Amino acid sequence: MFYKFLIMLFLMAAVFVGFYLFQERPPKAIANLETTIKLKPSSKQTNKPDLTSKSQSKPSSNTRQFPKRALLDTIASKPRAPDFSLLDEDGKIHRLSDYKGKPLILNFWATWCPPCREELPSMNRAWKKIKDEGIEMIAVNVGEDEDTVFAFTAEYPIDFQVLFDESGEIIKKWSVRGLPTTFILDIRGHIVYRATGGREWDAEELLDEVRKLKMSNIDF
């Protein structure tokens, strides 16, 4: 009787062990891969704004209060601005040297950049003030393709010239560290001022500094 009891225990143990060893389980590599997929963001995800989302904040046409900072940072050395050749929305090439002879407000921006979006209305208002005063304004989009910018400008129009630095090569030459960054060039094509971060570009005290550059009686 005792031996029969031991045999039954042995058989029950064998069945349990066999069930544990031969049940269908995913390989460890697959389990690890699934964990990685869950934790690792998709390579297609970006910080670009979701233009279809109703929660997407649209730049207000009202004046926005940016953090207090100097209107414009003076560049004492006034270096010659690095030239570039960039395409506009129509595929036309624009060279920086084409704008020589007029003060130029050159803004580097991107659609995913909140301060860039916030300052755009003031830049549009500034453009309305200065476009007939012999001052130029350019917005250079950084790192994005035309379709992305077209979709953005359909929602948030930009009234002045937009150029594309899709490769990001130009901002390297200009030593842009953050967006938005705006440079003010004099009539000779030298960098006189820089503004890092958002500004109220239609402020008269700021535009007056740009207007003064038209008076520069300097030979080319």
Confidence (pLDDT) at 6: 56
Residue showing tokens 């001052």? 135
Confidence (pLDDT) at 12: 57
Q: Mind listing the pLDDT tens digit for each residue in 7-46?
A: 556 555 554 444 343 343 333 332 232 222 222 233 333 4
**Whether 113 is catalytic:** no
For residue 173, which amino acid is it? K
Q: Domain ranges for the chain, please list them.
A: 2-39, 73-215
Confidence (pLDDT) at 215: 84
- The CATH code of domain 73-215 reads 3.40.30.10
Q: What pTM was computed for the model?
A: 0.70
Which among 105, 113, 116, 213 is annotated as catalytic?
A: 116
Q: Which of 24, 74, 21 is nearest to 209 (CA)?
A: 74
pLDDT tens string, the chain, 220 residues long: the values are 555 555 556 555 554 444 343 343 333 332 232 222 222 233 333 444 333 333 344 555 555 555 556 789 999 999 999 999 999 999 999 999 999 999 999 999 999 999 999 999 999 999 999 999 999 999 999 999 999 999 999 999 999 999 999 999 999 999 999 999 999 999 999 999 999 999 999 999 999 999 999 986 554 4
Quick one: three-class SS letters along the chain? CHHHHHHHHHHHHHHHHHHHHHCCCCCHHHHHHHHHHHHCCCCCCCCCCCCCCCCCCCCCCCCCCCCCCCCCEECCCCCECCCCEEEECCCCEEEHHHHCCCCEEEEEECCCCHHHHHHHHHHHHHHHHHCCCCCEEEEEEECCCHHHHHHHHHHCCCCCEEEEECCCHHHHHCCCCCCCEEEEECCCCEEEEEEECCCCCCCHHHHHHHHHHHHCCCCC
d(CA 95, CA 83): 7
